[in-house]
Amino acid sequence: MLKKFHITSALIILMHTISFAENNNNKSLSKKPVNVYILSGQSNMVGAGKVDGGSSRWGEQFLDPEVSVYEGVYNSEANYDKLKPSKVMKLEKFGGTEPTPYPTGGTRVTRGFVKVKETGTYEFRPGYGGSMENVMEVAGKVVHRKDVGEEIIRNSIKLEGGKKVPFKITYFTNDANGLGWIVRLDVPGTLTSLVNFKGMYPYLKNNKGQWVSRDDVYYKGVIAAAGSRWLSADSGKIGPELGFGHIVGNHHEEPVLILKASQGNRSLGWDFLPPGSKQYEFEGKIYAGYKQSPDTWDKGSKPKPINWYAGKQYDDCFGAAEEVLENFDQNFPHWKGRGFVIKGFAWWQGDKDRYNSGHANQYEKNLVHLINTLRNQFKAPDAKFVIGTLGQTKKDTSHANEKLILDAQLAVDGQSNKYPQFKGNVTTVYTHPLSQGGASNSHYNGNAQTYMDIGLAMGESMIKLIKPNQ
């Protein structure tokens, strides 16, 4: 008996020890600073990858809509197809941008037909606010259901173009207005199509078919890269931050902040010109240094300033990023008191510079200066730096300005040995094999695979730089 007591006691002590260690470890992790990654560049960094075929307000797809009113509040056990309505009204207007006038009182059920123009897989999103609390059926299949206080459940449906099928919407509350959205899901190249029909990036959705939001990676955008949310594909468009965020989020035990400061149609040689950049001469013209205006003027002439200056986009984007971080606790109350550490920068840009020979010729010098300036400005000398090339530019066939920019981006790679100070802390991702035949100036045709794969590649490159130091 005594021996058994000792064994039991030892087990209890061991369990308490393990529990204490785990709790201490969790507490230790909870006190570690948040890892911050700052992503910047032009419109492709802002993001143009299509999540789906684009939602559009419904209207012309619905034929012969009518609403039936049944006495009393909604009853889940009632069969409204067999009950006699107290009122039936043909709807002259259904969908669009203005609420459809519905009769008041009772339980409202809308019936009619749906006819889409193109064969495909569709998602229906009836209502907004309280009017979303309904069940919608198309061709006898439940395509949307939101019970009061519950999450939305949606099911896609394949429809044949030009074929009329019945629909029914039963509203659970007094909110009923006939508004809604319809989405084509199987548009080639969209993220939805890639995930749902090609089985790619399965971690982006849960078993209910809903986009997953990570609770350890937060996205914050400034300037053109709007948004403030836990990382998810639940938005109209994506940039490389989605793939990048999943890679770095999976690597770190501590939480991650993706801070994106980007603006489309901006050059490194003018708009993003880093502080401290000096003016220079190229082919008989003087190119502006930081804070100078205009961008160029003839040698020997006096410049006439315009309402923009060299480096203004740099100031706007990275000034906004600094403001976010300076007010970290206010912007991210879920991490209040933890603090942060800037782990790295990601840069995907160069399209605007390729239209200007002076900027293209200076791109390498400006890029080196950008890396050094950002590290200095954000007091992050050890922060890693990842650069993405322009997807359409091939190593063996590029020429003129595009070749200058590609060569510059490859030159700063720490493996090139041209800049020994960048060895092990700067790398360049050659994106042409990932571009799906698209080009930067056409936003890669909105192909979500391009944005996902480049984001994943940039994230993996970032982690390779970080790992040796851990």
The pLDDT of residue 100 is 87
Amino acid 147: pLDDT = 96
pLDDT (0 to 100) of residue 335: 98
CATH topology of domain 32-51+195-274+311-469: Rossmann fold (3.40.50)
Amino acid at 173: T
For the stretch 434-450, pLDDT in tens is: 999 999 999 999 999 99
What pLDDT shows up at residue 236? 83
CATH 3.40.50.1110 residue ranges in the chain? 32-51+195-274+311-469
Residues in the chain: 470
The per-residue pLDDT for 395 is 96
Which pLDDT score, from 0 to 100, does residue 55 have? Answer: 79
Tell me what pLDDT residue 193 has: 93
Q: Closest Cα to residue 105, out of 81, 128, 86?
A: 86
Tens-digit pLDDT profile for residues 355-390: 999 999 999 999 999 999 999 999 999 999 999 999
HEC sequence for the chain: CHHHHHHHHHHHHHHHHHHHHHHHHHHHHHHCCEEEEEEEECHHHHCCEECCCCEEECCCCEEEEEEEEECCCCCCCCCCCCCCCCEEEECCCCCCCCCCCCCCCCEEEEEEEECCCCCEEEEEEECCHHHHCEEEEECCEEEEECCCCCCCEECCEEECCCCCEEEEEEECCCCCCCCEEEEECCCCCCHHHHHHHHCCCHHHECCCCCECCCCCEEEEEEECCCCEEECCCCCCEECCHHHHHHHHHHHCCCCEEEEEEECCCCCCCCCCCCCCCCCEEECCEEECCCCCCCCEEECCCCCCCECECCCHHHHHHHHHHHHHHHCHHHHCHHHCCCCEEEEEEEEECCCHHHHCHHHHHHHHHHHHHHHHHHHHHCCCCCCEEEEECCCCCCCCCCCHHHHHHHHHHHHCCCCCCCCHHHCCCEEEECCHHHCCCCCHHHHHHHCHHHHHHHHHHHHHHHHHHHHHHC
| Rounded Cα distance, 70 and 145, in Å | 20
Question: What CATH class does 55-184 carry?
Answer: mainly beta
Residues of the chain with CATH 2.60.120.260: 55-184
Q: Is the pTM of this model over 0.75?
A: yes
CA 1 from centroid of its chain's CA atoms = 64
Q: Which residues of the chain have pLDDT under 50?
A: 1-28
**Predicted pLDDT at 104:** 86
